[in-house]
Structure 1
């Protein structure tokens, strides 16, 4: 929970499930343990909420305001549905097997797994999906999908063996059961992973790897040329602030109260059941982030509908830094006293 607050969803469902199961089976000793576990979870929830209120002055995380607040409900649901539908299409075989697995020879634990999966999808829809593909919000329940799929395949093989002992005895001897299951499971995994085979085989490099590599190189350069007092303005508010340890201004508002509480920039025309906006990336005000806050370094001067090139050319310079990682070009505040100007070369705009 302390790492990701949405873990509360899965924790709460789990506690409710085991509480109902324990009451139904009259296992009252387990009820006490479950209630105690709930108190521990509640302690962390309340403690973090109090800390957030005392430290930030709000009981809700800033990312809630950024991704949910002020975003029209129907637009958010539309984008969440589009995003989740892509997940279903990309994993249709595995999801279908998981659904059959939860209903075929069903029991309470299978239904519990199914509820967790459904709540993950509902949550993903409610928050409007995500800025990137690969469906990271579904990661906690992917093992459950795999388990249900595996159980269904096992149950089907067991059923065939039970019903067809004489007819298929030569093909389904007991010592072949595991082999048949393994082949079936391998085929399903291969078909589900087919769109990503080149990445799995490392034949292509993920775009995220390239972006992260560039950001780390920029962080190394910034550490070398910026004094500790310098501020940095970024769109990628993760690796660069982390590795530079400088005061960071997040242009997209994940750590900026003003930006997070803005009304999102939405297209004037859009089509329902197509992606309309990008969660967490649709609130920005570069006039505020760059002109008013005046960061010493800016990662970029434009974002979707805003472009501050003229202001940037007048007030910032391009700076070239060379090290063992190669050449890194940065945009720095002109004549800033917090830059070691002798450690690189100022470039003209257009070079």
Structure 2
């Protein structure tokens, strides 16, 4: 019995080997994102993810979908479905310090399901001849640090990447008449609710399907029903947004894509794409792309993952990248969700190569397995920055093994600690203005004001305060107007604000005093 289990665990034809590493590593990573404050263990997501958690918590507590807990509600989240999934978590009878753990566990399940779907995609649609190996694509997806990082830190990435893989799988099934377009278009409706910008994925896949021979002879009734479901989803949520938030688009759209010249966004997006993401993995990435393009004509299915990779890379450049670029994570959220499709192409090329090898040499299962395991290991190390990373081999090793706490964890602990200390300084109904929109809003019950405009319409619609060097442009963090905030809200405290946008002299002149112990400006203490 023991030997049978061991054989299954090391068999590359079964997913046991991958999950034998994925689940323990994931649990270890999640644990390493936690910390103790006054002997109490806290699990916490990235501050942006905690914005969604704050909306969910406030809804459960009777404030509605209102981050600020007073005034007119603002749609300060970009991920409606992900935010709504946090509502039942926040209704659980457990402390705030543990609720983020449930989101992390849910993300782990989503990532595991994506690994299984990568396996199914490879076996069903990317086998060549007798070669239907799937292990390389699944192993690279399971071990890709940026994907796991963003998912376990509470971002919607785990759900988003699963939807990408499912969409590609179903698109091929629709083309081959294995499944109904209704299923695919219903999935697109879900994708839209996760992130509105996933409409780009929808357009790419629909365009790919429409380009296929024989498309005009498809079941028009099924397509009509599917498009009705998809369209009604968009219309229904748009009506809800207009009635509830009085806007046509999310507030984050105005914050990040208005008031900023396109050339600034594009230059910064291209800079971080090349220097932070591309250069460390340029060799395997270019090899895969160069190997795929000549085969697209004879293997048309390769074209769809290639298009998805291109649209995600281009979108990242267009929006200016992400705010958390200058760290050792390795890839931002926008490019990360496309990487499993790159791993699918790599696996497909490997299947093609092994198929050609059988034509010149005697087929050998042991040779195939040796090639698959060794190449998968080398490429996994490459894609995780072990060879060309600017941070060095030692730093990348500590990152991947999680010997050190993941990036941002020390900062999250400090913000939670200071948020709780703040409650001893202020009255419960105090108004707190902050540049950290997630954690303070979640772990306190103050009325909140967002200094950077994520949850403030007027600031979101302003022109950005642009730096002299486009490399110092931080998407979503270059709009602020302290005089406007002072006049409209009259905050009792400015939290974690120290000379941001030249506010020191202004706040001092209005009777505020900087309190280093709680990291901010207290009204009336000057």
Q: Tell me if 1:289 matches 2:485.
A: yes
State how 1:178-257 maps to structure 2 within 5 Å: 178-193=369-384, 194=386, 195=389, 196-222=396-422, 226-257=426-457
- In structure 2, the partner of 1:146 is 343
Q: 1:152 to 1:300 in 2, by over 3 A?
A: same
Q: Which has the higher strand share?
A: 1
Shift of 1:318: 2.6
SS of the residue 1:207 aligns to: coil
| Cα pair 2:498 2:520 within 8 Å, conserved | no
Q: Deviations over 1:132-161 (max 9, x none)?
A: 123111222121111112222232233233
Could you list the runs of 4 or more consecutive aligned residues of structure 1 that deviate by over 6 angstroms after TM superposition? Answer: none
Q: Distance in 1 between matches of 2:273 and 2:208?
A: 25
Q: Distance in 1 between matches of 2:507 and 2:365?
A: 76
Q: 1:108 to 1:333 in 2, by over 3 A?
A: same
Q: 1:51 to 1:132 in 2, by over 3 A?
A: same
SS of the residue 2:249 aligns to: coil
Shift of 1:277: 1.4
Shift of 1:256: 0.9
- In structure 1, the partner of 2:214 is 24
What's the TM-score, normalizing by structure 1?
0.80
1:128 to 306, 311, 320: 320
| Cα pair 2:435 2:497 within 8 Å, conserved | no
**Count of equivalent residues:** 317
| Cα pair 1:93 1:188 within 8 Å, conserved | no
Shift of 1:299: 1.7
Which structure has the larger Rg over C-alpha atoms? 1
Shift of 1:249: 0.8
| Cα pair 2:267 2:320 within 8 Å, conserved | yes
Q: 1:3 to 1:232 in 2, by over 3 A?
A: farther
Q: Tell me if 1:277 matches 2:468.
A: no
Q: 1:179 to 1:16 in 2, by over 3 A?
A: same
Q: Deviations over 1:294-317 (max 9, x none)?
A: 222322333554132563483246
State how 1:259-338 maps to structure 2 within 5 Å: 259-267=459-467, 269-270=468-469, 275-290=471-486, 292-308=488-504, 311-312=507-508, 314-316=511-513, 318=515, 329-331=518-520, 333-334=522-523
| Cα pair 1:286 1:308 within 8 Å, conserved | no
2:280 to 82, 87, 90: 90
SS of the residue 1:91 aligns to: helix
Q: Deviations over 1:268-304 (max 9, x none)?
A: x44xxx6251111111112323465222232233355
SS of the residue 1:2 aligns to: helix
| Cα pair 2:272 2:321 within 8 Å, conserved | yes
Q: Distance in 1 between matches of 2:506 and 2:215?
A: 71
- In structure 1, the partner of 2:353 is 156
5+ residue gaps, structure 2, are 1-191, 326-330, 390-395
Shift of 1:261: 1.2
Q: 1:223 to 1:130 in 2, by over 3 A?
A: same
Q: Deviations over 1:184-207 (max 9, x none)?
A: 111111122114322111233333
Q: Tell me if 1:58 matches 2:244.
A: no
SS of the residue 2:471 aligns to: coil
Q: Deviations over 1:72-112 (max 9, x none)?
A: 12112111211222322132234224314532533332111
Q: 1:304 to 1:228 in 2, by over 3 A?
A: closer
Q: Distance in 1 between matches of 2:450 and 2:421?
A: 19
The answer to which of 178-187 and 192-201 deviates more is 192-201
Q: Distance in 1 between matches of 2:371 and 2:505?
A: 63
Q: Tell me if 1:70 matches 2:259.
A: yes
Q: 1:27 to 1:90 in 2, by over 3 A?
A: farther
What's the TM-score, normalizing by structure 2?
0.55
Q: Deviations over 1:178-227 (max 9, x none)?
A: 22111111111112211432211123333311122222223333456654
Q: Distance in 2 between matches of 1:177 and 1:93?
A: 23
Q: Distance in 1 between matches of 2:353 and 2:278?
A: 23
Greater RCO structure (CA 8 Å; 6+ sep): 2
1:102 to 285, 292, 299: 292
CA RMSD, Structure 1 to Structure 2 (Å): 2.8
SS of the residue 1:233 aligns to: strand
5+ residue gaps, structure 1, are 321-328, 336-345
SS of the residue 1:71 aligns to: coil
Shift of 1:330: 4.6
- In structure 1, the partner of 2:13 is none
